[in-house]
C-alpha cells in the first residue's frame, strides 16, 4: 500500500528486544516458531468466530421465530395442509438437534437450502448477485479510501484552517445523513428531476459491447456517490486524528532538522506511520460498507446481494436471509483476519 518509513524513523522494537535478551543464533528459528504460532492463533480465532456465526444463525432463524412456517406465511392465505407440507420441506418436523446437524453439514458444503419465495437454491441466487455487489462495494471502497485518506492528511497537516474545518464538518454531516434518504434525494434531483442519470437498475436492455460498460458506469454513478458519501467520513476522521497524533513526534523534528522539505517530511515520514490505524479500519469497516450496500442497492434497485437481502427481509424468506447473514458475517470475519495478518507486515512493532 505504501512504502515503510526509513528504519531510523521507527525503531524495530522486536529487534531491539532480540538483541537484548537473545544471541544472534537461534533467532531465525525462534521467529519462525513465533510467526507460526501467531498465524495459527489468528486462523483458529477466525474459525471459532465462523462457527459462532453458524450457531447464531441457526438460533436466530430457527429458534427465536418459534414457528418459522408461521412467520414466513404471515398474512397469506394458506391451509393447514400447505403449512405441514412446508414444514416437511424445510425439515421442521424432525428433532431440533437433527435439524441443526443437517444445517451445519449443509453450510459446510455451502448449501444454504432453498429460498422460500423463489423455490431456488440460495447459493445459486447468491452467485448471480455477487458480481454487481462486488463491483459497487469495491469501487466505493476504493474511492472512499482514496478520498478520505487524502482529505484526512490535508486536514491534519493544516489543522484548524478553513479547509480543514469545512472538510471535517461536511464529513460529519454526511456521516449523520441516512444513506437511503440521501439516495432518494439524489434520485429526485439528478434522475427524475434533471434526467442526467437513470433512476434504477444496472443495465439498459439491448446494449452490447463497449457501450454496455459505459452503460453500467452510467447506472452506477448515483449509487456510488451515495455509498461514498456515507463511508468516506470515517477514513477522513481516523486518518486525520492519527496524523495529528504523529505530528508532535520527535522523528519529524529530526527529519526537518535533516533539511527535508515539508512535503517530504509529510510524505515519507509522517503519513506512512499515520496510515497504520487507517489500514485496519479499511478492513474492519467492511461490515458497515456491506450494510450501506443493502440500503443503496434497495434504493437504486441495484441487482446485488443487498437487494436480495431486502427481498428476503420483506417476506421474510428465512432460508435466504439466513444464508446471506452467514455470507455477510463470513466476509467480515475474513476481512478481520486479513487485517490481522497484514498488520505485522506493515508495522514492525507488532511483529510476532
Partner 1 sequence: MKTATATRRQLTWARRRRAVAKFWGDYRQNRAGLFGLAVLAVFVLSALLVPWIVGEDALSVTRPAGEPLQPPSGEFWLGTDRSGRSVLDLILWGSRVSLTVGFAATLISIAVGSLIGILAGHFHGWLSGLLLRVTDWFLVMPTLVLAVALAAVLGRSLSTIVIAIGVTSWPTTARLVRAQTLAVEARPYIERARALGGGHWHVMTRHVLPNVMPIVLAQTTLMVAGAILTESTVAFLGLGDPTVPSWGSTIQAARDTGAVSSGLWWYILPPGIAIALVALAFTLCGRAIEGVLNPRLRNR
Residues at the contact surface with partner 1, assessed by CB under 8 A: 49, 52-53, 56, 60-61, 64-65, 71, 159-160, 169, 172-173, 175-178, 180-182, 184-185, 187-188, 192-193, 199, 237, 240-241, 244-245, 287-288, 290-291, 294-295, 298, 309-310, 313-314, 316, 318, 321, 325, 328-329, 332-333, 336
d(CA 249, CA 243): 10
Query: Prior bond to 320 cis, omega within 30?
Result: no
Q: How far apart are CA 228 and CA 137, in angstroms?
A: 9
**Shortest distance in whole angstroms from residue 51 CB to partner 1:** 10
User: Minimum Å distance from CB 294 to partner 1?
Assistant: 7
Q: Which of 251, 352, 349 is nearest to 16 (CA)?
A: 349
CB of 28 to partner 1, least distance (A): 32
In the complex with partner 1, the residue whose CB is nearer, 32 or 185, is: 185
Report the residue number, 272 or 312, with the smaller CB distance to partner 1.
312
Q: Given the complex with partner 1, which of 46 and 275 has the nearer CB atom?
A: 46
Distance in Å, CB of 331 to partner 1, minimum: 8
Nearest-5° angle of CA 347, CA 5, CA 234? 60
DSSP letters for 143-199? HHHHHHHHHHHHHHHTTTSHHHHHHHHHHHHHHHS-HHHHHHHHIIIIIIIS-SS-S
Q: Beta-carbon neighbour count of residue 177 at 10 Å?
A: 14
**Residue nearer to partner 1 on the CB measure, 179 or 279:** 179
Phi/psi class of residue 111: alpha, beta or left (left: φ > 0; alpha: ψ in -120 to 50)? beta
| CB 344, min distance to partner 1, A | 19
Nearer to partner 1, 82 or 314 (CB): 314
Residue with smaller CB distance to partner 1, 253 or 314: 314
Contacts of 221 (CB under 8 A, 6+ apart): 197
Shortest spacing between CB 260 and partner 1, in angstroms: 24
**Which has the closest alpha carbon to 314: 117, 29, 177?**
117
> Partners of 266 in the beta sheet?
none
Amino acid at each position: 500500500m505504501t512504502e515503510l518509513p526509513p528504519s531510523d524513523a521507527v525503531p524495530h522494537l522486536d529487534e531491539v528486544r532480540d538483541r537484548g535478551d537473545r544471541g544472534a543464533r537461534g533467532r531465525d528459528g525462534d521467529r519462525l516458531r513465533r510467526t507460526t504460532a501467531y498465524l495459527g492463533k489468528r486462523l483458529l480465532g477466525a474459525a471459532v468466530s465462523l462457527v459462532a456465526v453458524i450457531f447464531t444463525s441457526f438460533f436466530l432463524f430457527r429458534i427465536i421465530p418459534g414457528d418459522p412456517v408461521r412467520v414466513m406465511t404471515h398474512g397469506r392465505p394458506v391451509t393447514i395442509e400447505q403449512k405441514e407440507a412446508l414444514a416437511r420441506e424445510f425439515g421442521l418436523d424432525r428433532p431440533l438437534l437433527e435439524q441443526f446437524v443437517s444445517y451445519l453439514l449443509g453450510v459446510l458444503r455451502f448449501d444454504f437450502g432453498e429460498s422460500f419465495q423463489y423455490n431456488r437454491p440460495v447459493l445459486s441466487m447468491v452467485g448471480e448477485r455477487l458480481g454487481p455487489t462486488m463491483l459497487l462495494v469495491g469501487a466505493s471502497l476504493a474511492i472512499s479510501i482514496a478520498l478520505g485518506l487524502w482529505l484526512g492528511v490535508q486536514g491534519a497537516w493544516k489543522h484548524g484552517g478553513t479547509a480543514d474545518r469545512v472538510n471535517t464538518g461536511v464529513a460529519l454531516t454526511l456521516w449523520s445523513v441516512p444513506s437511503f434518504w440521501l439516495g432518494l434525494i439524489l434520485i429526485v434531483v439528478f434522475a427524475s428531476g434533471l434526467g442526467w442519470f437513470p433512476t434504477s437498475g444496472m443495465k439498459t436492455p439491448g446494449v452490447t459491447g463497449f457501450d454496455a460498460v459505459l452503460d453500467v458506469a452510467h447506472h452506477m454513478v448515483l449509487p456510488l456517490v451515495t455509498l461514498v458519501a456515507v463511508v468516506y467520513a470515517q477514513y477522513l476522521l481516523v486518518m486525520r486524528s492519527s496524523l495529528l497524533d504523529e505530528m508532535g513526534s520527535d522523528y519529524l523534528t529530526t527529519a526537518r532538522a535533516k533539511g527535508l522539505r515539508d512535503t517530504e517530511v509529510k510524505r515519507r515520514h509522517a503519513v506512512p506511520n499515520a496510515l497504520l490505524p487507517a489500514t485496519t479500519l479499511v478492513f474492519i469497516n467492511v461490515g458497515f460498507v456491506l450494510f450501506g450496500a443493502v440500503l443503496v442497492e434497495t434504493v437504486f434497485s441495484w441487482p446485488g446481494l443487498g437487494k436480495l437481502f431486502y427481498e428476503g427481509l420483506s417476506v421474510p424468506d428465512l432460508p435466504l436471509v439466513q444464508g446471506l447473514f452467514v455470507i455477510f458475517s463470513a466476509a467480515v470475519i475474513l476481512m478481520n483476519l486479513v487485517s490481522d495478518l497484514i498488520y505485522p507486515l506493515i508495522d514492525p512493532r507488532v511483529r510476532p
